[in-house]
Each structure stands twice: as C-alpha cells, then as structure tokens.
Amino acid sequence: MKYACQFLIALLLTGVCYAEPAYDVVIYGGTSAGVAAAIQTARMGRSVVLVAPETHLGGLTTNGLGWTDSGDKSAIGGISLEFYQRVHEYYENPDAWVYEKPEDLNRGRGSGVFDPNADSMWVFEPHVAENIYETMLAEAKVPIVRDAWLNREDGVVLKEGRIQSIATLDGKTYEGAMFIDATYEGDLMAAAGVQYTVGREANAKYGERYNGVQKAARHHGHYFTHKVDPYVTPGDPASGVLPRVSAADPGEDGEGDARVQAYCFRMCMTTVPENRVEWPKPDDYDDLQYEILLRNFEAGDSRLPLKIDMMPNVKTDTNNNCAFSTDNLGMNYDYPDASYERRAEILAEHESYQKGLMWTLANHPRVPQSIRDKVSRWGLAKDEFTDNGNWPRQLYVREARRMIGEYVMTEHDCLRTVETPGSVGMGSYTIDSHNVQRYIDANGYVQNEGDIGVGTGGPYMIAYGSLTPQKEQCANLLVPVCLSSSHSAYGSIRMEPVFMILGQSAATAAVLSIQDGVAVQDLPYDELKTRLLADGQRLTTNAQPKTPPVSSSSLKGVVVDDADAQLSGAWTKSTSISPFVDEGYQHNERVSDASVSARFQTSLPSGKYEVRFAYSANANRATNIRVAIEHADGRKVVALNEQRKPEIDGLFTSLGTYSFSQDKPAVVEVLTQGANGYVIIDAVQFLPEGDAKIRDDKQY
C-alpha cells in the first residue's frame, strides 16, 4: 500500500490522470494460480488486483478437472491444501448430496473420495470449486476485473527492465510495483519480452531421457494396439491421408520439435435422467473426421475410449483414453503464440470435434453396440456450466509457452538426481505428457506419439528461480504457471494443486520484494522460505533419488526385456515403481482375458537354467497370475503373486530351474485371464545353473 500511496501523490503533483489506481501487485490470469496469488497478496496486507480474461475464475479446477491430479498429498500445503479442506467441509453437509449419498460415491473406490474422518477431499463438482474460490476471494476482499484481455501488441509498458503498467483491450491501464502472469498461455510474460520456448527440447539439451520425440514410448494405453490403415482408400497412399493423421515425418526419438501435447475439454457427465442432457450432434458434423476411430473398432480394439472418474452426485471428470479419444492431436500447434481470434477458432474446433466424438460413440452404427450402450447412458450435467450450454468454459491447455528463466526445471529435478535450489513448493505427480502427434509408422499404419508417464518416486522440490525471468529481461515479474521448465519436467509440474502452491509462493515473493525494495531475482531466499513455511507451504522432501533402471546388458545369463516380448492385446508402458530393467515395464490395464498375454522367447545352449521373472510389486497387483514355462521336457504353469516383493534384490523372482535344448525355443508366457489385479511384465532372465547358485547382490 505504501508504494500505491506514493505513486498516487506523484500523479496528483504532476497532474497526470489515469483511469485505474496503482497496485502493489497486479495479477493477470484467473487460473487457480491467479486466485491463490491474489488471496495471498491480500492476506499479506498489500493492494492487489486480479485482472482476468475469464469471466468465471479457477481454470481447470472449476472446469471439469475434479478428479485432482494430486500425486503425493503430503506435498501439498498452504492455500492449495486449504482449498481441498474447504471442499471436504462443503460435502460434510448432507444437503450437498442431491443425487446420491456419500457412501454411494465411496463404494468400490479407493482414496480421494469422501472420508468423514479426513480434513480434505480431492474430488468435487465444478460449480462447487468455483463457489469456494469466489468465497475465498471475497473474504480476502480482492478486487477482480473480469473479461479483461491484455493488449498483447503494445499494452505492456516497460522502463529500465521493469513493467510499469499493463493495458487491456478495453483501454484500461493497471499500474503496479510487481506483476504476476498466471495465465496458461504466458501472454504477459511474452508481451514483456521475456524469453520462452514452445514444444519439446531435444534430450541432448538438458541431458534428459523423456523429452523430445518418443516413438518407442507406450504409456497409459493411449496408442493403437491394432493395425489401422491411414488412407482414404485403404492401402492406397495416392488416395490421400484421412483426417486427424499427419503425413509428416514424426522425427527421430529424442529429437526436439515445436509440437505441443494435445488439448481437450474435461467434460462433466451424468447418468441421472433429470439432470442429463443428451449428446448433441454438431451442425458441422462429418463422420470422416472419425474414420480412424471407426476403423480402430473394426480392427478389434474394443476398449471404451474414455477415462471416467466419478465425482459427487453421479457426475464425472471425463478424460482422454485409448488410441482415439477426446485429445485432439495435432490441432493446437499454433495455439501458444496465436492471436485471440485464432485461439477462438482453435477452441471452437476442439469443441466441435469433441462433441462430434461423443455423438459418434453414442450413435454411429459402425461403433460396437456395447460401446454405444455405455456412452448413450451418459450426457452432460444439466446443472453445470449453465451459461455455456453445459459445456466446460475452459479448454485444457496442458502446455503452451514455457519461460526460460533464472533456473530451468528438468526431469533431473523431478527425479531428485540433482540438488534443486531454493524450494518454493513441491510436485510429485508422474512426468506426464499426453500424445503430441498421430502419424504413419514405418509399417504404414496409424500410431500416436509423445505420451510419456514416468513416476517420480516421491515429492521433489521446485526452484524459486523457475518462477523468475532472467534479471536483465524483467525484474518485477513472476510466472507460476508458464514457469521455466523443460517439456518433460513440465509434464509433472503442470498440476492444479501445484499451480496453487506456486501462485501463493509467487505472491509472497512479490510482496517481500516490494518490502525490501529489490528485484525479484535478488530477494534473499531465507526470508522467502521463512514466510512460506509460516503460511503453511511444504518445501522439503525426504524422498531419495529415483532408482535408475537396471541395464539388461549388466545382467548375467540371457535376458529378454518386455520391449522384445511378443505381446497380444493392450499393454501399457510405465516407470512408476522402481527398480525395473531397461526403459520400464508394462501392465495389462487390468484387462484380464485370453486376448491379453506376453510371450518371452529366446534360444539357449542346451543345459539347465534358472528362470527368473522381473516385476515391480505393489498392492494393486494380481495375486493369481499364471506363467507358463516351455522347456525341453514339456510345459509347466506356475503361479505368481505380484503383490509380494521379488525375492532376488527386489527385482527378480525365481520360477524354478528347467532343462532347455538348443533345438527348441525357450519360452516364458504370461497369461492374464482371470487375474485379480494389474499384471506386470518387465524381463525374463535365463541364468545357467552354475551362475544361479551365486546370488550376489552386487550383480544387480
């Protein structure tokens, strides 16, 4: 407030008149980060204004992403945790349960649902989240300017490396001592001339493994498991490529590019008849846009291409799933730097595409009847997004611009293999990128690329320097959403609870920098840390660096990795739980039938071998897996319990010792039919009997 008063006195003395008052902190962007930043600034006793292009605040938190991507909840504190505590408080009221009882939501589900004995809740309806945010802002007496769009051409005034003011398209000007860009797009950052990047860096740039093109990666099941022809006339490239498939060279693994991971809308659906709106057929509907989907069904992929997580009152958070779903691959590459007009076109195209997809799944005769029956039960929730045709107002902009600031977060920070300086909060979610492109593979079939899912193995720290531009570029700007990060690290950081955490930390740094009269880059970290801890932020972790993969080449005997196994049905790549061999392991998505199996096969010199099977144990694994070993004397089926930690160095378990002949393939086949949980396949080791007697921990 001191700064604002001094500035107003100066204006009176000079006779200059402005339409808007000066503020200590000007926040641009009504995302969850912007909301948290505004509340924190006000609570610290400073003048603040939240200038939002949105009319409805809260970003994805209030626009359908109600199944919180929280990761390790112990890493969440401050205003972020307070929000989820208020969610719990709201649902403690029996009147909040209109279409079901709490026990109905809880039944058959794990963590994250309503627990009357807990103090927080991580699933919620969109309108509930919006009401909580609005209440918190009102309590803090935050002035809000809605539907105010930054003049990106010449609306940012800088002087001597500091932003003096920003102007919106309606001609209003907002003066401030500090500025926070809380948009998903990084528009203020870019207009201020701060350096940024779009797309994926090459792995070589930061010495990463999971950045750049990832053709070999298979995560989440978001890829084609059957052969689907990409051409208008099957088998005839001259007939042209079908819509939603790129004919461009996808690039080589690890190469950087300017492609952006896919966006979608997180629909809120329901099956309650009195609250359900049937799927509309878009006026511009063209079933050729969904030909790849239809051919994929006809090729034999019977999976429901929707991820449906239940919210209170029989509502959903609906996300992308399988090979062709709500993610609109390749249609957003120009979004980050696009004009407002072009972005509106992209948004409209995404909406039309996704509505057409849902109508297709519910009605098209070439969709399997079982899928049509499932999807037609659902419809949009009538009591959500009531001023927008019950459709989410915010497109899920998973990634746009990323600042190149004082410190660049990389996957090394997420995996805790480097020391991250000056923690201002923690992340913990999987390093997660949705697919980036749909292309034609070397065999002439359709495939998706870019989907990564690498577990971090616990919370990691986020550096203060990743929120600040390079000092010579701007000394009074903080960027908690489009922060300084590589593509792969951003895949983990980009979660709504983390954006709230970083919004609060950015606001705290802005206020303390005003108080000390320093650039945000020069704020003493110990001072910032002390205030963050006092306000409930959680900054440090005891999690150890993630165990690096075990190289198959370092193991004795003959090793067949899952990457070389013959797979039937849908398998999903993962690296969530260590240790594992080579690039990760795969799981069966809990699809337990005869169509899903894995065959590890090799040739061995004649002799006796101990057969060892590698998997990562967890409580959600199957306890009754059948594994068949084909050896010189016949075939033996053994039982495997993958909830039990592997007996050999936590990596391998023995399936027994068998004779093998060089004239007959050595085979280990994993059968999933009837399995009562996730089935994990990683590697099979055939160890000569003499070596098998020596179980030296160091060999692993």
pTM for the model stands at 0.87
Rounded CA separation 548/346 (Å) = 40
What residue has token string 């927008």? 388
What confidence score (pLDDT) does residue 592 get? Answer: 80
What confidence score (pLDDT) does residue 692 get? Answer: 60
**Burial degree of 72 (CB within 10 A; 0-12, 13-18, 19+):** middle
H/E run at residue 157: strand 156-159
Whether 2-192+400-433+452-534 and 552-699 share one fold: the answer is: no
For 326, phi then psi, to 5°, come to: -75, -25
DSSP 8-state secondary structure symbol assigned to residue 275: G
Name residues whose C-beta falls within 8 Å of residue 342's C-beta, 6 or more positions apart in sequence: 334, 335
Rounded CA separation 432/450 (Å) = 10
H/E run at residue 402: strand 401-403
| Strands, sheet with 558-561, edge to edge from the N-terminal-most edge strand | 558-561, 683-688, 607-614, 652-660
CA 560 to chain centre: 31
Rounded CA separation 266/392 (Å) = 7
Predicted confidence (pLDDT) per residue in 305-325, tens digit: 999 999 999 999 999 999 999
78-91 helix and 32-43 helix, angle to the nearest 10 degrees: 100
Confirm if 449 and 437 have CB atoms less than 8 A apart: yes
Predicted confidence (pLDDT) per residue in 402-429, tens digit: 999 999 999 999 999 999 999 999 999 9
What confidence score (pLDDT) does residue 3 get? Answer: 40
Rounded CA separation 134/640 (Å) = 52
Which residues in the chain show pLDDT less than 50? 1-20, 110-111, 694-700
CATH superfamily of 2-192+400-433+452-534: FAD/NAD(P)-binding domain (3.50.50.60)
CATH code given to domain 552-699: 2.60.120.260
The residue extents of the domains of the chain are: 2-192+400-433+452-534, 552-699
Q: What is the DSSP string of 577-637?
A: SS--BTT-EEE-TT--STT-EEEEEE---SEEEEEEEE----TTB-S-EEEEEEETTEEEE
CB atoms within 10 A of CB 602: 15
Mapped onto helix, strand or coil, the DSSP state of residue 635 is: strand
